[in-house]
Structure 1
Amino acid sequence: MLRSVVSIVLLGFFLHYAMKYRDWADFSRKIIPKVRPGQCQFARKEGGTEDLTYIGDGIFLASGGFEWEGDVGKILSINVSGDKSVMTPLAIRDAPNIDGFMVRNHGISAWRDPESGTLYLYVLTHPKPVTSSTDRVEVFEVVQKGLHLRYIRTIVDPSFTFMNDLVAVGRDQFYITRYNWFRSTWWIRFAHWFHIREGAILFYDGQHVVRAVPDSYFLSNGINASPDRKTIYMAEWGTKTVHALKREENNQLTTTWTEYVDSGVDNIEVDQETGDLWIGSHPVTHRIVDIFGWFGKLPAAQVLRIKIRDGVMTSLEEIYADDGDELMASTVAAYGAGKLVIGSVFKQTVVCDVNYLTE
């Protein structure tokens, strides 16, 4: 009798999990119609640009080299003001001779000193486990409107286990998202399968790291800030939601609103003029987590625009979508100078004309 009860309970638990996972993985989503804001062209066909940001004057900076087996990452620049948009790697001056420097570049964030006008770039990197058990944040000065970078310092902390993205809110001050506790590939897969909530938002004040929000998230991903730096936006990839959090005087964060968008939101970029959010996203979850190649489909791509008015989300728009033929696994989208630049994990970078945007 007891064995039968236990068997029924276990079967019920398994069926409940299977149905929940089926819905989360988007198995019913078969076709992604193509959506374009205008004519698009390739700026890079191999290597990927996992994160990018617009720094003005038609110039975007991007992180390249997010390959788990790769050795050297790159910071790339693209100027969309010309007739042909091409990504070029930036030289790094005063680079330190340390093991694991600029390996597996991931999230990036630019911050301009309001007094000096100096532009700083913060780059999250993943050194190999044999050289370090924690991630690093490399700090650079952007020289001559992105012609090259000057190395300043490396920031490390024991709490930087497996981080995803960061947003600078001051000189050597930033919020940073923890994706998982460990960088182990098998643990990451386990967390995906069983929806383990070990993501977090941390704050670095220039010397110390503190937890900015007591909540734990399911795969906390991209993070960014409103133009006045009073609101922090975070993409929770695992729950397909965008969080808006009020920044308190002590740099703690309080959730003001959360919006489910039915897509695997990745990196967030913020329009510095309007405050709108531009998000690279993964509309079909099982394609992006298809680590065994069981489903035989290319990871799809999507760009979402969230309009923000008076600190509140007023609408959600799909600006770009592709079934994986032109762009696979879109991680980031940034808008500037009338152009939309879309990056991906390992492959293409696309630049699109934006012919029309709703107000």
Structure 2
Amino acid sequence: MAAMKKTLIAVFVAAFAAYIGSRYLKLREVILASREVPVKHLPRCHYLQNIEYGAEDITILRDGLAFLSTGLKFPWLPSFSDEPGKMYVLDLLHPKPTPVELKINGELDLSSFNPHGISAYVDEADDIVYLFVVNHPQKHTSQIEIFHFVEENTLVHLKTITHPLLNSVNDIVAVGVESFYVTNDRYFYNDVLHILCVLVLGRTWSDVVYYSPKEVRVAADGFMASNGINMSPDKRYIYVADIIDHEIDVFERREGEQLVYLKSVAVGSLCDNIEVDHRTGDLWLGCHPNSLKLLAYDPKDPPGSEIIKIKNIHSEQPVVSQEYLDNGRVLMASTVAAPYEGKLLIGTAFHKAMCCDLK
């Protein structure tokens, strides 16, 4: 009996060790821990003035005005400034586009302002520009701030939105004056439980939530970690970046804001935010080629940057191309790439931001 018990324990220990070993190998595969990328720069790029501590998300209006969220403080990522986050605006039609800090009026607590994903909505009835900003005033808290953009450099805070389903918001796409979709990038607040859930057990408990004043519900789920989200120029489709699954998921918007899954496109990288060319419908993705370097952050071996474009995403054979690659010596931890009329703005989690010519 004692011998059998020892045998069973040995078998259990061996099986458990084998499982942990397989999950460790899977973890390294998921985070692309061994991946190295070559350098592929665009011909003409320069750093944007005034942006020193990251521009995690960027969105551009059709008239060339770009909004940037800066200074994000996020779990596991380095931060090199103790100042609160800020919002900037940049006119891409200006001969020398330069980010200008936006004044924020209203009752928002600016001392804890920590902007993350952003989205702009232009009301067709009166052309009023509404800016939606994901805000994390405390660690593991999420709320949505809605602003009215006025004059040249001012945001007027209109409303703060909180809800139990908006529990770990990463990015947002506005579809109305007070309605939007958001991605929740985790299920558990606790970092240890989150790592266990996603990276060890491989649970797909991340989701997309639809919010309106009349209804709040989960619109899509089953993601490893839903991150960036955006919409097609004709507003028929919603795109979601599943950063850990290395793919972009495509959904069709139907009556009643129902999302119907259509397809997934593999991108081979840890892609963060999604921006869409308003003319061509091409998707531009800011990606992390190796998240081990991102999380470990060694200045001697910095995290790189990767910009990916998806052309003809709704065809049977979308074209996925690497448009920019850097080993972190020029640009660290790219999170977003926003195109406009032959120019490309590239933002990062905690480093600088760049403007490049595509022509």
Give TM-score scaled by structure 2 length: 0.89
**Secondary structure of the structure 1 residue equivalent to 2:229:** strand
CA separation of 1:79 and 1:315: change in aligned 2, threshold 3 A: same
Aligned counterparts of 2:316 and 2:309: Cα–Cα separation in 1? 13
Per-residue deviation at 1:312?
6.1
Moved more, 75-84 or 316-325: 75-84
CA contact (8 A) 1:33 1:323 kept: yes
Name the aligned partner's letter for residue 115 of structure 1.
Answer: A
Counterpart amino acid of residue 107 in structure 1: G
Secondary structure of 1:153's match?
strand
How far off its partner does 1:26 sit?
2.3
Q: Could you report, residue by residue, the CA deviation over 1:291-336 in whole angstroms, capped at 9, with x for unpaired residues?
A: 6x5x952111011111136566621111111100111000001001
1:211 aligns with 2:184: no
Alignment of 1:100-249 (within 5 A): 103-129=113-139, 134-144=141-151, 146-191=152-197, 193-194=199-200, 195-213=202-220, 215-249=221-255
Q: In the alignment, which of 17, 20, 41 is matched to residue 36 of structure 1?
A: 41
Is this contact kept in 2: 1:71–1:103, CA < 8 A?
A: no
- Mark the CA change 1:259 to 1:125 in structure 2 (over 3 Å): closer, same or farther: same
Q: Any idea what SS the aligned residue of 1:238 has?
A: coil
Aligned to 2:89: 77
Instruction: State the alpha-carbon separation in 1 of the partners of residues 14 and 149 from structure 2.
Output: 62
Gaps of 5+ in 2: 1-6
The percent of aligned pairs where both chains have the same amino acid is 32
Q: Which amino acid aligns with 1:297?
A: D
Matched, 1:90 2:102: yes
Q: Write the distance in 2 (CA, Å) between the matches of 1:38 and 1:186.
A: 43
Partner of 2:55: 49
Q: What does residue 304 of structure 2 align with?
A: 300
Contact 2:313 2:319 in 1 (8 A): no
Counterpart CA distance in 2 for 1:345 and 1:178 is 18
Tell me if the contact between 1:74 and 1:102 (Cα under 8 Å) persists in the aligned partners: no
The 2-side partners of 1:313 and 1:229 are apart by 22
CA deviations 1:135-190 (Å, max 9, x no partner) are: 1111111224x532222111111222111001011121100000113444444554
Counterpart position of 1:328: 332
In structure 2, relative to structure 1, the CA distance for the partners of 1:128 and 1:100 (3 Å cut) is: farther
The 1:189–1:347 alpha-carbon spacing in structure 2 relative to 1, beyond 3 Å, is farther
Are 1:351 and 2:330 counterparts?
A: no
In 1: Cα distance, 2:38 partner to 2:351 partner: 21
C-alpha contact 2:172 2:183 (8 A) present in aligned 1: yes
- The alignment of Structure 1 onto Structure 2 pairs a total of residues equal to 345
Q: Cα 1:115–1:312, aligned 2, differ >3 Å: closer, same or farther?
A: farther
Q: Which residue of 1 aligns with 2:9?
A: 3
Rounded to whole Å, the distance in 2 between the matches of 1:207 and 1:288 is: 40
Deviations 1:72-121 (A, max 9, x none): 2211112233343322211123x10x546762100000011112111111
Task: Please list every run of 5 or more consecutive structure 1 residues that lacks an aligned counterpart in the other structure.
Answer: none
Separation (CA, whole Å) in 1 of partners of 2:248 and 2:33: 22
The partner residue of 2:346 within 333, 342, 345 is: 342
Alpha-carbon contact 2:285-2:337 (below 8 Å) kept: yes
- Paired residues of 2:230 and 2:239 also in contact (CA < 8 A): yes
Alpha-carbon distance, 1:57 to partner: 3.2
State which drifts further: 48-57 or 79-88.
79-88
**What is the alpha-carbon distance in structure 2 between the residues aligned to residue 135 and residue 161 of structure 1?**
6
The runs of at least 4 consecutive aligned structure 1 residues that moved more than 6 Å come to none
Distance 1:120 1:353, change over 3 A: same
Alignment of 1:235-274 (within 5 A): 235-274=241-280
Taking a change above 3 Å as real, the CA distance of residues 86 and 189 of structure 1, as seen in their structure-2 partners, is farther
Q: How many Å apart are 1:71 and its aligned residue?
A: 5.6
Distance, in Å, in 1 between the alignment partners of 2:94 and 2:110 is 35
Task: Provide Cα deviations, 1:316-357, integer angstroms capped at 9, x if missing partner.
Answer: 1111111001110000010013210000001110110112xx
Q: Which amino acid aligns with 2:113?
A: V
Aligned partner of residue 175 in structure 2, secondary structure: strand
The offset of 1:64, in angstroms, is 0.9
- SS of 2:27's partner is helix
- The answer as to whether partners of 1:302 and 1:322 remain within 8 angstroms in 2 is yes
Q: Structure 2: which amino acid aligns with 1:80?
A: L
Greater shift, 178-187 or 81-90, is seen at 178-187
| Alpha-carbon distance in 2 for matches of 1:310, 1:239 | 19
